[in-house]
Amino acid sequence: MQNNQNNLDGIPVGSLGLITLKGCEALGEKINNYIVEWRKERENEHKSTIAFSGYQRDNYIIKTNVPRFGSGEAKGVINESVRGNDLYILVDVCNYSLTYSLCGEINHMSPDDHYQDLKRIIAALGGKSRRITVIMPFLYESRQHKRSGRESLDCALALQELIGMGVDNIITFDAHDPRVQNAIPLSGFETVQPTYQFIKALLKNVDDIELDSDHMMMISPDEGAMGRAVYYSNVLGLDMGMFYKRRDYSRIVDGRNPIVAHEFLGSSVEGKDVFIIDDMISSGESMLDVAKELKARKARRVFLASTFGLFTNGMAKFDKAYEDGLFDKILTTNLVYQTPELLSREYYVNVDMSKYIALLIDTLNHDASISHLLNPAEKINKLVEDYKNR
């Protein structure tokens, strides 16, 4: 049975429906299986009443399709009734493995394509559902969250557009800058941190970690990840260090100011295991530079963790760094597309988020509080205590 602090006795908002857009089928299937299992086991005296109609089913996934014309244009199609449903739409804007034909040429789907497909499906619903929640783990255009000069504010525009189309809530994970929710201050927006899942995965895959400030240290790779590292340090009782990226602001290379050096702020890491946490690994250059700096300062083992493992430049750089002993494990979630090459690496740890998302959906469908899911400090403390006792 699910490990949930709520009994979930409340009446559901509506009959639950899951819509998994292309590229999210595997994650959506896992989420669906958890909810099916829980609702079969859950005892509720009101399950036979009309308010719970459609509550216990063998499948909650709504069949949808986004067919494309030869020109590359497309349309969203809903293949079954959604009237009165409480819908949760799951989309991975980073899944570039999907392709479509564009005037006879093969074109890979970009974040723009995935976002357009999301809007097509919402438009196809035609306002018939009772509530729409979009679960977008990697927030579309979240790296373009603030303006420097005459620039577009793509993330804010996308959020406002979704709300204007009738979306009630938006759930994302580890937003690059949570302040983007200021664009929709009167609507539901949650940015979820997978803290518990990362700690659980690390302790499961490394059985000799000593969780105290004498043997382990949390590292923020830059000033932007400070809040994340502070939370880990607090719940685990560890010391924390931070790197400051010194950039050359007189030049722009590949759309950004190149990093000149990483300056370290913190106590000695000599002989300690270090856990580097960030929101995403893109090319991996910054994360590997930090690992190299820590090894130069005689850190014992280096664990790299990131919510989103994009690996935009492939795995060769990471393979060489692993062979050179710069790091021991890489942990990323299955919230975005994972290549077969990544999953095959011996140093890679896949952090499964399907159960967590299923808990969020199941709880929200009952209109119950998710506060205990967003701040899992008690669960982390129990996990660490069990690990130490074991």
Beta-bridged to residue 126, according to DSSP, are none
Residue 29 one-letter amino acid: E
Q: What is the DSSP letter of 63?
A: P
Residue 184 has φ and ψ, to the nearest 5°, of -135, 65
CB-side exposure of 277: number of CA atoms within 13 Å? 24
pLDDT, one tens digit per residue, over 128-185 is: 999 999 999 999 999 888 888 888 999 999 999 999 999 999 999 999 889 999 999 9
pTM above threshold 0.85: yes
∠ Cα 291 143 276 (to 5°): 20
pLDDT, one tens digit per residue, over 284-322 is: 888 999 999 999 999 999 999 999 999 999 999 999 999
- In this predicted structure, the answer to whether residue 3 has a pLDDT above a threshold of 50 is no
User: Hey, what are 272's tokens?
Assistant: 């300690």
